[in-house]
Amino acid sequence: MPELPEVETIVRQLAPDIGNKRIKTIELLDPRFEDLETSAIDGARIVAVERLGKQIVISFARDSAILGAIAIHLRMSGRLIWIPEQKTKATSAPEFLRAASLKQEHCRARLQLEGGSLCFFDTRRFGTIKISDTRETFLPRGLDPFAKEFTAERFGELLSNSQQAVKVWLLRQDKLVGIGNIYACEILYAARVNPFLSVAKLSPKQIGLVHASTLSILNAAIENCGTTFSDFQDSHGELGSYQEFLKVYNRENEDCVGGCGEITRVSQQGRSTYYCSTCQK
């Protein structure tokens, strides 16, 4: 499932691609979305594209009056692809889709805009589309790591009164949004913190290291357009490349980059945890 860096990558690409463009129409091609209310969308103009948690949220307005927002969650296999008119004119729509390993029958929704189409492809059909009259509907419960409020002090407050293992805690979207299994493993390795250590036993120094590692790992992943192991593509149909820089995730029995031992994989509450038992004592 795409995590914060993958969703942020898409948002940063889409903002200049579709910002301020008029929506000609919205086509909902999956029966799961047939009950969505779309009357306010046709003819409206896109005024903002942002990431809220792991959702891509597109706000639209008409005559400067905000009418609502569309929230798209990619889930397991969703892809949100911008197809400019010049690309389909230069080749053909089927050829363009094949080049991006996409199939027309997997297109579940389409925003026809000035200058192109924004298409939601979803092979497994786990992705969601929601429409509301306000973006605030889609605000996540947890704190965003890129919010100005995410300081080391605030992070420590969020961690207080918990007995969970720190790796498990990092996956809690009601506390800190956007971090999934890949980045939780990488963050704790960068901080040299044992993933099984109880949150209650983290020292102030360790809290500071995990806070700093969270920001550095997420920023590095965004710079490399996210991580692709199977399904993820950015809004231009390109793969992420951060998998080339992972230090522990998916590296079971490989040498630790610190040269001190091997990477171990264990199951932790049903999820694979990768760590170095020497570096992360």
What structural domains does the chain harbor? 4-138 (3.20.190.10), 152-276 (1.10.8.50)
Determine the pLDDT at residue 131.
Answer: 97
The reply to whether 85 belongs to the active site is: no
Determine the pLDDT at residue 97.
Answer: 62
| This prediction's pTM | 0.91
Determine the pLDDT at residue 102.
Answer: 67
Average pLDDT, the chain: 92
CA atoms 77, 136, 28, 89: torsion sign: negative
From the list 51, 54, 135, 167, the catalytic residue is 54
From the list 3, 6, 8, 186, the catalytic residue is 3
Q: Are 153 and 180 contacting, i.e. CB atoms less than 8 angstroms apart?
A: no
Residue 197 has pLDDT above 70, yes or no: yes
From the list 22, 32, 75, 271, the catalytic residue is 271
- CA 248, distance to chain mean position in Å, is 20
The reply to whether 271 belongs to the active site is: yes
The reply to whether 148 belongs to the active site is: no
d(C-alpha 66, C-alpha 77), whole Å: 31
The reply to whether 238 belongs to the active site is: no
51-106 confidence digits (pLDDT tens): 999 999 999 999 888 899 999 999 988 999 999 886 655 555 556 565 556 677 88
Q: What percent of the chain has pLDDT over 70?
A: 94
Q: Is 37 left (phi over 0), alpha (psi -120 to 50) or beta?
A: beta
